[in-house]
Amino acid sequence: MSLLQSLGLRRSPRNHRAGARTTTRKHNTLTGPGGLFHHKKRANRNAGYKASLTNPNSTKAGRAHAKHELHMRGQSAHVPLTKKIERTLGMHQTSRSTRKKAAARRRGY
């Protein structure tokens, strides 16, 4: 046993785990892994939560989570009843014939 080990300043090889994690960070906690300017846009995330409230394919738990997150961020989680009905019944602002014509134009015929 060396002097450093006896003073507790160095681990013995038997107690040292192979491949133990280091304490060095790969990024600054202030900037995050993406850097200072490459971060999640708060407004986009809020918009996604807001959209999931009216999405008929989202689960009840997902809507509850989105509502909770919006309230935590100080945002309104209110969705008008008319929007809920339109989304559920599949009613769109653009008529089906207009959408079909636009899709055909994009395909080139």
Q: What is the pLDDT of residue 40?
A: 76
CA–CA separation, 59 vs 67, rounded Å?
12
For residue 18, pLDDT beyond 60? no
User: pTM (2 decimals)?
Assistant: 0.48
For residue 91, name the pLDDT band (cuts at 50, 70, 90). Answer: confident
CA–CA separation, 4 vs 46, rounded Å?
55
| C-beta neighbour count of 90 within 10 angstroms | 8
Looking at 13-17, 50-54, 73-77, 93-97, which range is the least confident one?
A: 13-17
Per-residue pLDDT, averaged over 5-33, amounts to: 61
Q: Considering just the CA atoms, what is the radius of gyration of the chain in Å?
A: 27
Listed residue (55, 49, 57, 56) closest to 76, CA to CA = 49
**Quick check: 5 and 12 in contact, CB under 8 A?**
yes
> How far is CA 63 from its chain centroid?
14
Residue extents of the structural domains in the chain: 28-107
Q: What is the pLDDT of residue 23?
A: 62
